[in-house]
Homo-oligomer: A and B are copies of this chain.
Amino acid sequence: MSDKYVYSFGAGKADGTGRMKDLLGGKGANLAEMTRIGIPVPPGFTIGTDVCIYYSRHKGRYPGGVKRQVAAALKQVESIMGTRFGDADDPLLFSVRSGAKFSMPGMMDTVLNLGLNDRSVKGLTRAAGGDERFVWDCYRRLMQMYGSVVLDVGSEHFEEIIEKTKKKRKIRLDTELTAEDWHGVVSAYKKLIRSRTGRAFPQDPNDQLWGAIGAVFSSWDNPRAVTYRELNDIPHDLGTAINVQAMVYGNLGEGSATGVAFTRNPATGENVFYGEWLPNAQGEDVVAGIRTPLPITPRTDVDLPSLKEQMPAIYDQLEKIRSKLEKHYKEVEDVEFTIQGGRLWMLQTRTGKRTAQAALKIAVDMVKEGLIDREEAVRRIEPVQLDQLLHPSFEDSVDKTVLAKGLPASPGAAVGQVVFSAEEAEKWAADGKDVVLVRVETSPEDIGGMDAASGILTARGGMTSHAAVVARGMGKCCVAGCEALQVDYRKKLFRVGRKVIKQGDWISLDGASGEVMEGQVPTRDPELSRHYYILMKWVDQIRRLKVRTNADTPEDSKIARDFGAEGIGLCRTEHMFFEGERINAMREMILAETEEGRRAALKKLLPMQRKDFEGIFKAMDGLPVTIRLLDPPLHEFLPHEEDAVKAVAKALKVKPSEVRRRAEALVEFNPMLGHRGCRLGITYPEISQMQARAIFEAACNVTKRGVKVLPEVMIPLIGTEQEFNILQDIIVKIAEEVMKRRNIKVKYLVGTMIEIPRACLVADKVAQRAEFFSFGTNDLTQMTYGYSRDDSGRFLDEYVANDILPGDPFQSLDAEGVGQLVDMGTRLGRSVNPKLKVGVCGEHGGDPESVIFFHNVGLDYVSCSPYRVPIARLAAAQAVLEETRTTWRDK
């Protein structure tokens, strides 16, 4: 007896099971599984992957016994279907499809309608109630697929024949071709095949079958498939299985129909059967939208005949299948079915896609129903999906005119009138108007206008440009780096191609897709359901990684706390210096050329900064607040435009030329690598002193009012232990002095931001005195890759498009390179200081993939923008559930 190579399925029995994917491929194993649990799948058989491997290694020969086993399996199908393969009057037809272990969509070949020939085409016409057009179309399709797949006649030659026919008949669409036309096409196809191959199209169904099987096995090694496997890391020696399955048709007269359905409502999650059907139709008719599909269950809003009313017995059968599927797969399923001559056949079942709202309700409901446990419910929600719930979004089913597409920099939906300057934005907003601020790029001077606008659109800059970072912090919709925009500030308009949008025109921004649309596209407000809160409670029970937020104001802190933030991981003190009168004091400080001058200006800034910290400490009562000392290069604070220069000169009582001269002197070739971060604090210690004083005076003040404060002072841009030690000494000295004077004791930490590659390499030195590390993965990514995030747009898109990079490393952490440094820094740091608290506060803290990496590396917390907090919480829980995943270190 030979080995078993062929696995039958049908009529409730199957040789294989759902777990035999290695041998039967994904599709074959599914068909076996569906059959086993009693789903009426069109019968057929699967030829195992081992046959493919043998075929490939033995120059197209089959192992002994395969032909015999196929013949036997064929007989079994015939007996289930009650028709015969090759029968002239009522032919049984087959599909031959590949099905590998891993899905390779569109990479390998398929042949449908196998078994048709000049004789049976007539028999089928009778069975199809005389629908000659449909049958001849089937026949020509078989010839076309067979011709190109098996006989190697280029598909374009077949298409050419159809085009010629249409031209002759002066029509444009295939659907306008008549039965007679298709008849003619079949004749032309026959000639084509004979002239190209020297042989006629095979009339023997068995020849057709074996031709198709051989061709599909061969297609495993076609260049397209090989490249696909290489790109997706699929081994070449797996081989594909082949599924040979009886064809069923939903358009064979009265008792026939076709449909698609979800086992629950995929938009709302409601536990009702939800789907559409069409009598006497094929699946593609439902999708094509030529005929209006009908509902499966009666609907109150429209008067259309439902399947439940029209075919009650079939509907009952479907209802039972629905329940069986959910019990078996413990998921919402998306099924395709065909009814042929009153007999129901299930063609496919797969996990149903759903909205975020539905996903939450379904997950929570299924736990209640006992179908899944809480962990599985948590595993089921895509973290990024939550974004839909937290921001307004556009209605799905509206017409929209997309002007251009930029980077989806900060999610949400914004609709407003276009303005081109921050001042205009503030003015218009004060008049109660909704505005979208359009800039080539934004700078810190624009903060007020950004805050006033409903959305921000920039022509330059990436996902971590100023506009993007600030907008995400504000939870405000932003589309950045929309290169197609040509902004003309002078004329107050922008062009996209020939289109001109002027100040005051309405546009709509989709921060989730990056689309810029003309006019006012209707939006939908966010709402957090009961199910959201239930699920997030489970999430918090599972996760170990803490989630903090990046927030610079009491307002942001409150929003983040409401979203579940467990502290502030990054409070950027520089953002506090842009408002109104502060910017003047800040500019005075920067432009002072002596220490005394700086001290005088800092004295003005001290009370303002202290008040900011008091507000934040109150908002975060009882939670830790990490405050980063001044970080950016000083020239960022300088005025750029002539008016601003004059205003500053006036405020400072110096000449505008003097302001320009000093500002000029601060310009740097590469500000990202320049005089910033702790380098400022070391060369101008008075700045750090003022900031430390503001922090601890604020801490003492609110402590007196009963607020529990946990300040963590963070020194940015450390590259050597000496830098840290010098600034730590300065901070501790001020802290102790302030607390002694006030006679109040506040617990505090002094730590550092690890964002320079060198800091990771010498983390064991830095950690000797640092009390915490927070990885600044934005800058760490910039320096590890040598990519300026402001400039990398020029090549990064191309890099991602050409698979040079798997994705934008500023969005999802580069585990192999940057992650290696994070891991090294964490291990070295903890090697000398096991109690070292380690977190991350770059943009990556809100990216689910990166959160999982940080969990695996063993960080204590991630910190992200307020609107990303729920996403990070969910990702952190999933990280626990996926702890067996491989990390870069295992590779």
A816's contact among B673, B761, B786, B792, by CB below 8 Å, is which?
B761
Proximity string of chain A (717-761) to chain B, C-beta cutoff 8 Å, 1 when within and 0 when not: 101101100100000000000000000000000000001111001
The answer to whether B722 touches A803, judged by C-beta atoms less than 8 angstroms apart, is yes
Is A178 interfacial (CB 8 A cutoff)?
no
CA distance A726 to B798 in the complex (A): 13
- Interface size, chain A (Cβ < 8 Å): 48
The answer to whether B786 touches A756, judged by C-beta atoms less than 8 angstroms apart, is yes
A788's contact among B668, B723, B726, by CB below 8 Å, is which?
B668
Is A81 interfacial (CB 8 A cutoff)?
no
29 cross-chain CB contacts under 8 A:
A668-B790, A669-B671, A669-B790, A670-B671, A670-B672, A670-B790, A672-B786, A673-B786, A673-B788, A674-B794, A675-B792, A682-B804, A683-B798, A717-B786, A719-B785, A720-B804, A722-B803, A722-B804, A723-B804, A726-B804, A756-B784, A756-B785, A757-B783, A757-B817, A758-B786, A758-B817, A762-B816, A783-B784, A783-B786
Task: Kindly report which residue of chain B lies nearest to residue A670, judged by CB atoms.
Answer: B788
The answer to whether B675 touches A672, judged by C-beta atoms less than 8 angstroms apart, is no
Contacts of A820 in B (CB 8 A): 761
CA distance A683 to B792 in the complex (A): 12
CA distance A794 to B675 in the complex (A): 7
Q: How far is the CB of A770 from chain B (nearest CB, A)?
A: 16
CA distance A701 to B135 in the complex (A): 69
Known: A761-B816, A784-B761. A798 touches B669 (CB 8 A): no
The answer to whether A675 touches B795, judged by C-beta atoms less than 8 angstroms apart, is yes
Proximity string of chain A (674-686) to chain B, C-beta cutoff 8 Å, 1 when within and 0 when not: 1100010011000
Q: How far is the CB of A419 from chain B (nearest CB, A)?
A: 24
Proximity string of chain A (776-815) to chain B, C-beta cutoff 8 Å, 1 when within and 0 when not: 0001001111111011101100110011110000000010
Contacts of A479 in B (CB 8 A): none
Is A821 interfacial (CB 8 A cutoff)?
yes
Is A93 interfacial (CB 8 A cutoff)?
no
Is A818 interfacial (CB 8 A cutoff)?
yes
Q: How far is the CB of A70 from chain B (nearest CB, A)?
A: 44
The answer to whether A675 touches B791, judged by C-beta atoms less than 8 angstroms apart, is yes
Q: A723, A788, A802 — which one has the most chain B CB atoms within 10 A of its CB?
A: A788
CB contact list, A700-723 vs B, under 8 A: 717, 719-720, 722-723
CA distance A682 to B801 in the complex (A): 12
Task: Kindly report which residue of chain B lies nearest to residue A799, judged by CB atoms.
Answer: B682
Contacts of A787 in B (CB 8 A): 673, 719
The complex is assembled from copies of this chain, and their number is 2
Contacts of A757 in B (CB 8 A): 757, 783-784, 786, 817, 821
Q: How far is the CB of A888 from chain B (nearest CB, A)?
A: 10
Q: How far is the CB of A717 from chain B (nearest CB, A)?
A: 7
Q: A723, A761, A805 — which one has the most chain B CB atoms within 10 A of its CB?
A: A761
The answer to whether B791 touches A786, judged by C-beta atoms less than 8 angstroms apart, is no
Known: A669-B790, A670-B670. A784 touches B804 (CB 8 A): no
A791's contact among B668, B683, B794, B805, by CB below 8 Å, is which?
B668
Contacts of A717 in B (CB 8 A): 786
Contacts of A669 in B (CB 8 A): 671-672, 788, 790-791
The answer to whether A761 touches B817, judged by C-beta atoms less than 8 angstroms apart, is yes
Task: Kindly report which residue of chain B lies nearest to residue A723, judged by CB atoms.
Answer: B804
The answer to whether A674 touches B805, judged by C-beta atoms less than 8 angstroms apart, is no
Contacts of A802 in B (CB 8 A): 682
CB contact list, A291-330 vs B, under 8 A: none
Contacts of A671 in B (CB 8 A): 669-670, 791
Proximity string of chain A (275-303) to chain B, C-beta cutoff 8 Å, 1 when within and 0 when not: 00000000000000000000000000000
CA distance A756 to B805 in the complex (A): 16
Q: How far is the CB of A127 from chain B (nearest CB, A)?
A: 56
The answer to whether B679 touches A805, judged by C-beta atoms less than 8 angstroms apart, is no
CA distance A805 to B682 in the complex (A): 13
CA distance A756 to B786 in the complex (A): 6
Beyond contacts A669-B790, A783-B784: 7 other A-B pairs, Cβ-Cβ < 8 A, are A669-B671, A669-B672, A669-B788, A672-B788, A674-B791, A679-B795, A683-B795
Q: How far is the CB of A659 from chain B (nearest CB, A)?
A: 18
Q: How far is the CB of A458 from chain B (nearest CB, A)?
A: 14
CA distance A671 to B673 in the complex (A): 11
Q: How far is the CB of A586 from chain B (nearest CB, A)?
A: 19
Contacts of A786 in B (CB 8 A): 672-673, 717, 719, 755-758, 779, 783
Contacts of A758 in B (CB 8 A): 784-786, 814, 817-818
The 3 closest A-B pairs by CB, nearest first: A673-B788, A670-B788, A758-B817
Contacts of A675 in B (CB 8 A): 791-792, 794-795
CA distance A733 to B881 in the complex (A): 48
Q: A786, A787, A790, A791 — which one has the most chain B CB atoms within 10 A of its CB?
A: A786
